[in-house]
Amino acid sequence: MIRLIPRLAVLAVLTVLAVLALLPVPAALSSSAAEPAPAQGPTGDAALQQSIEQLRLSIGRWDVVTEFLNDDGSVARAANGSYEFSWVVPDRVIAGKSAIPELGQVSGILFYINPQKRIIEMVSVGADGRLWVMTGPLGGEERTTAEFQTTTAGTAQMRFTRYNVANDKFESRMEYTDDGGKSWKPGNHQTFRRAAAS
């Protein structure tokens, strides 16, 4: 069982990934390995168009409340933050920034479509220099990391799911597995609300 304080520290570091299908895990993280196999989703041009709409919806600034969850799903802690995205390549690549001031966290994010591989991916890197990659099928609302080694010599994987999507609000949950996907434990829940124009 992970003690609450170390778990919150790890969850806080990993939370910066949590966007559109976004993050925290057990306190025992290390490095990533092979690419995860994308899940099935819509096919053909409809799937590509759905992923383009995900990128378009993401543009702008979002106020985000992240709830770090205990294994039983209860809230261990909540933190306020923001995400902001802008176009790099129209309808293909957006760049962004995640910030949680009360935890002293800032991360850079790329969110992009790869039509040839039929995937949509998000990558995130923070002050520790560790690159996280979250991959899903075109048209899907779920992305996973590759399986990675933990500091306790085990393996883990994260899964991010975006849901309750509207133009100015959506939710995301991060779950993790440390038993090869047989069971998934809660990591965090995030609520994104489009920030008022300033």
The yes-or-no verdict on residue 81 having pLDDT over 80 is: yes
pLDDT in tens, 135-174: 999 999 999 999 998 888 899 999 999 999 999 999 999 9
As a residue count, the chain comes to: 198
Which residues partner with 132 through β-bridges? 124
Q: How far is residue 66's CA from residue 192's CA, in Å, rounded to a whole number?
A: 9
Which residues partner with 106 through β-bridges? 99
> Domains in the chain, start-ordered, CATH in brackets?
4-193 (2.40.128.20)
Helix and strand element counts for the chain (H, E)? 2, 11
pLDDT in tens, 125-143: 999 999 999 999 999 999 9
